[in-house]
Chain A
Amino acid sequence: MRKYITRRLLMLIPVILGVTFIVFSIMYMTPGDPAQMILGESAPESAVKALREKMGLNDPFIVQYGRFVKNAIMGDFGRSYATKKEVFAEIFARFPATLQLASVGVLVAVLIGVPVGIISATKQYSLFDSVAMLLALLGVSMPNFWQGLMYILLFSVTLGWLPSGGYGSFKHFILPALTLGTSTAAVIARMTRSSMLEVIRQDYIRTARAKGVEEKKVILKHALKNALIPIITVVGLQFGHLLGGAVLTETVYSWPGIGRLLVDAIKQKDTPMVQATVVFIAVTFSIVNLAVDILYAYVDPRIKSQYK
């Protein structure tokens, strides 16, 4: 197992190199002059030119990229063009907000989605199932940012109960978490239902019933554990995506997270910031994926035996 984890962590290196290369190329192609940006619109031509030279922006692409990788390996991702601060200081200042939102959102989603999916599957075609799946379908069809706006319309504008955006108190937290939680819950409920339906048909469930096991135990002990792999997969995927910044939800609620940091950096052509943020997101995402894969082994002994 330890060997497996080490190997997976090592495999991250080429992935991250690849990610930096792609992002570096994209930023290289993006119109706009970083030197001009740093010095401001009114800076004299000569100063901009000098800074370009100093920053190495006139070097060929591959030289610039090589220099970036070399510095990155030394742990230096540079400073933001816009704020002049160390990029990772900025990222770590923003990350807690994103982490809180993603964790609570996914927790809410799992607490709602998994039980609803299980009940729907065991009572397939019942009224509960129809209503729950209709709601889930609406949930996955609703754009997150619109859902957010509608919550603001209802809870902030009309009822005046909750703030419409910002960060700080618990009250600020409720609407963003609700927005992410409900739409993620819909995805999880749908996956739980279909995975459970698949498992309930298996022979070993019949065996459990033939042993005289209570129906409740058949579902929660025999079926659920087998249905868990696809459920864990979506939960992990959703969590990974939310950690990468729920850009739109963060925008709607003026939530100071990673996603907005990245979008602002892109808009300002703040290359070091973009680079570092994307690398950070890719690493978090890959680590969540690895955690999911490790979790598989605890759920399914057949997978565990493959991880040698």
Chain B
Amino acid sequence: MNEKLLDIKNLTIHYITDDGVVKAVNGIDIELNKGETLGLVGETGAGKTTTALGIMRLVPNPPGKILSGEITFEGKDLLKLPEGEMRKIRGNKISMIFQDPMTSLNPVMTVGEQLAEVIQIHEGLSNEEAIEKAKKMLEMVGIPGERHTDYPHQFSGGMKQRVVIAIALACNPQLLIADEPTTALDVTIQAQVLDLMKRLKEEFNTAMILITHDLGVVAEVCDKVAIMYAGEIVESASLEDLFEKPKHPYTLGLFGSIPNLEEEVERLNPIKGLMPDPTNLPSGCPFHPRCPKAKDICKIQVPKTTDLGNGHKVRCLIYEGLVEA
């Protein structure tokens, strides 16, 4: 069970634009075992989606560029694979669910065609067999198989996301990357889609990276959590450790900004300020301008990763003993 599936080391991705270099992902490490679920949490613009696209090697180039790092998947470095090999992995061993189901399906192809396509590419089935399997996949996500001849505009948002999930899981991938799969959906539909993903993932024993800004969703689905801020992973730990013993001031801030049902609180404590401009990141610790515990040294010294044991890692000068907690 504890077999390593994905090991990302020092991944750095920048976008080179006319208005400057957008430092989207800055040297992140991620480890994931087979069947495990990692929650990748952060505000909009923290670099979560870029990380996901990086793993798929789908960062739009230009302007995006993967500058350094290794992405070891099943023992092979994805960044060194030829494009043709990478294509065999996409949709087959690693698939991705995108944020907005409204725009992620091709409007001029039937959902059946779009599903059958991925099956045909990776499993070498005939047209009829692929359509048959596509129908089965639709049934599995709770859509009547005969609707395979319908076009995306004939489905609701939640149904479309089910189709996207069916496409992603059609070839029984080892790793599923879900980029805010429920953000664009109604609250009631969100729960249904999340349940569906959880069920299917367990059924297929798929590992998953769930990108979200919703800690509630993380608590429900994930085994591990990584908190991202300004292109860095500032804290990562098992679900229990992170929820019970959060360490990084940013993580603490995130918990302070959600309502707690058990405690009586006067008002929520949102984190002050805004995400820094990724073309012009602050010196030292990128979180220092918003950090309630920041000292002068935080402006100068870049924090290293401190291992607190049991896989709990944090990047903050407090845990290097340089700043008082």
A and B, direct touch (CB closer than 8 Å): yes
A interface majority secondary structure = helix
Within 8 Å CB of A213, what residues of B?
87, 91, 117-118, 121
Given A301-B153, A305-B153, A204 and B90 contact (CB-CB distance below 8 Å): no
Given A210-B95, A212-B92, A222-B106, A203 and B100 contact (CB-CB distance below 8 Å): yes
Given A203, A210, A211, A226, which contacts B108 in the complex, CB threshold below 8 Å?
A226
* Residue contact A300 to B98, C-beta cutoff 8 Å: no
Query: In the complex, which residue of chain B has the Cβ closest to the Cβ of A223?
Result: B106
Within 8 Å CB of A203, what residues of B?
98, 100, 103-104
Contact with A along B163-180 (1 / 0, CB 8 A): 010010000000000000
Within 8 Å CB of A171, what residues of B?
none
* Residue contact B103 to A210, C-beta cutoff 8 Å: no
* Residue contact B91 to A222, C-beta cutoff 8 Å: no
Contact with A along B231-245 (1 / 0, CB 8 A): 000000000000000
Within 8 Å CB of A202, what residues of B?
103
* Residue contact A211 to B107, C-beta cutoff 8 Å: no
* Residue contact A211 to B90, C-beta cutoff 8 Å: yes
* Residue contact A212 to B118, C-beta cutoff 8 Å: yes
* Residue contact B107 to A204, C-beta cutoff 8 Å: yes
Question: Cβ of A207 < 8 Å from any Cβ of B?
Answer: yes
Given A203-B104, A225-B108, A226-B107, A210 and B121 contact (CB-CB distance below 8 Å): no
Contact with B along A20-50 (1 / 0, CB 8 A): 0000000000000000000000000000000
| In the bound complex, CA of A17 to CA of B108 (Å) | 38
Query: In the complex, which residue of chain A has the Cβ closest to the Cβ of B58?
Result: A209
Contact residues on B (Cβ < 8 Å of other chain), bracket: 20 to 34
| In the bound complex, CA of A238 to CA of B153 (Å) | 31
Contact with A along B195-218 (1 / 0, CB 8 A): 000000000000000000000000
Contact residues on A (Cβ < 8 Å of other chain), bracket: 20 to 34
* Residue contact B91 to A212, C-beta cutoff 8 Å: yes
| In the bound complex, CA of A214 to CA of B104 (Å) | 18
Question: Cβ of A8 < 8 Å from any Cβ of B?
Answer: no
* Residue contact B167 to A206, C-beta cutoff 8 Å: no
* Residue contact B58 to A204, C-beta cutoff 8 Å: no
* Residue contact B108 to A207, C-beta cutoff 8 Å: no
* Residue contact A207 to B122, C-beta cutoff 8 Å: no
| In the bound complex, CA of A176 to CA of B117 (Å) | 45
B residues adjacent to A (C-beta < 8 A): 56, 58, 87-92, 95-96, 98, 100, 103-109, 117-118, 121-122, 151, 153-154, 164, 167
A residues adjacent to B (C-beta < 8 A): 202-204, 206-214, 222, 225-226, 299-302, 305
16 A-B contact pairs sorted by A residue (CB < 8 Å):
A203-B100, A204-B103, A204-B106, A206-B58, A207-B98, A207-B104, A209-B58, A211-B91, A212-B122, A213-B87, A213-B118, A213-B121, A300-B108, A301-B107, A301-B153, A302-B107
Q: What are the nearest 7 A-B pairs in CB distance?
A: A211-B91, A212-B91, A212-B90, A203-B103, A211-B118, A301-B151, A204-B106
